[in-house]
Structure 1
Amino acid sequence: MRLLLAIDQHGSVSRAGGVVGLSQPASSNALARLRTSLDDPLFLRTRDGMIPTPYCAKILPIVRANLAGIENALQQPDDFVAHSSSETFRLSLSDLGEMMFLPSLAHHMSQIAPNLRMHNIAAARQNLHNALQQRQCDIAIGILNTAGNGLNSTTLFHETYRAIIGRDVDPRKYQTLRDAPITLTAPSATYANDIEDELSKKGLANNIVLRLRHFGALPQLLNQMDVVAIVPSQYAQSLKNQQQAQILPIPVPLGEHEVKMIWHQITDSDPAITWFRQQILDVFGEPRVV
């Protein structure tokens, strides 16, 4: 059943086998046995990968829900001891989230539980519900939509957006965003918020001259081009503190957004994940001055 779910997720028998710890021959044999037992091809091979048959598509949600329940029921109820545990926690953060959240959280964790590990999975927004439900990641942090059965969330803090320019640009040049060539960064992973639609509603769509998928190139870009980037205020302040950018004193009409911590309810009985959520609240849950 785990192989069945993995084939549906990855579209490949070999990749699915790697996920569940089976070799290529063992994966093919297991799929053959499933096909015989269930009297259905289950998956059809296409140029885009393996796709489920109508029967398989019907049973997949049922298998997924029941398998998650079985795995959760079989977990040992032992208490979690952080300082001696070597547990691995899987976060979902965008590249900006990784820059802004991971250093502080990793430092905090190293002080109280040095043997613990953290991995950033960076699930795309449209796949986040499945990633949390299937335990590909334990917790997501960002400006996120919490729609989806079984998802729980709590607000860590509120975020706004600021306009920034390169360190050598004269800030008097731009009095409003209507005067500015705008750069947006909108990665597909969890921290991204679709701000382009909001700017379009304000009549600023034609001002957008550059769209980036990642924040890593932004500091260098700002100091090579005369553009205005719209970014979360904490990131703007970080670049200003590093003398990589200036913050413009002009309003950005995007309102205030909740930065949330999101998890699936199947982890509510997991003492390790419960402890990890509390550490995130301890590090990021207090009001922060920008």
Structure 2
Amino acid sequence: MIRLLIIGRPGSQWADRLHQLHLSELEIDHERLPSAGIRRFEESPADLIIIADDQGGERVEILAGALRNRPLGQLVPLMLVCPLPDAERLQAATDTLDLVGWLPPETSPQALLTRIEAALDVSLSAQPSPSTPHAEPSFAPEAPDASAPPEPSAPPSRVFRSGDLTLEPLDPGPTHQVDRQSIFPTRDFSYPDAPVDAELIRRKLKAVRHEDYFAILEVRRGAETQPIREAFHRLYARFDPRNIDFQTAHAFEEALAEIRDALEDAWAVLGDPALREPYLRYTLRP
């Protein structure tokens, strides 16, 4: 059995595409966030790792470098499925990270499978699809006569009798639903005095598209795990559509989803010291 680990947001989509090939000798795991993927790899090493990202960029190479820094990560074949850089950078990254392949996101599942087989020097056979069993003829029961009067049905008895003892059920009365929020109140990280409006959403969306992870979480460069965690929870709750005016949240639904995805990415990297340190070195400003 060949174990494949796919790390990245499109990981579940690639896993579904490969599952559709009905491969009997391929076991596929996938994790959405980088830190979760590294933990999965350390708990259960895979035969090959694929980092999938529809946008690419430096975060993919940082994650690949973090995997290579693990003792087991130096032994496992590594493949990237993300937009291709220029030829010079492609060759340099392939040599530095010892990649067995760098494929664009539009690669077909069959082409990806071919590269996996070449990297592992194996041949993965397709599992025959189960044949449809022969359907036995079914015989419908005769419909009851509509003209016949229906037989009266006696209500179920709720009285228990045993000798001279008779027990009748008590009426429990109306049931009351317990308010979970009154018992387990959630911590509010939002800004009650600074509501999220359309202009703030536009500014934050521009920031998550062009700034680094420290700026996305609004923390200083080199911040430790605790302030990074607090900043993530505060911003993640602040840009939660449930905490925003309904019309604004509805109009900027996709933008809010992109902002919260970027916050998750930033927390996944900066919240893990093993990823934060190489990211800080990689993005060190002169």
Q: TM-score, normalised by structure 2?
A: 0.24
* Greater Cα radius of gyration, structure 1 or 2: 2
Determine which structure has greater relative contact order: mean sequence separation of CA pairs < 8 Å that are 6+ residues apart, divided by chain length: 1
The structure in which a higher percent of residues are strand is 1
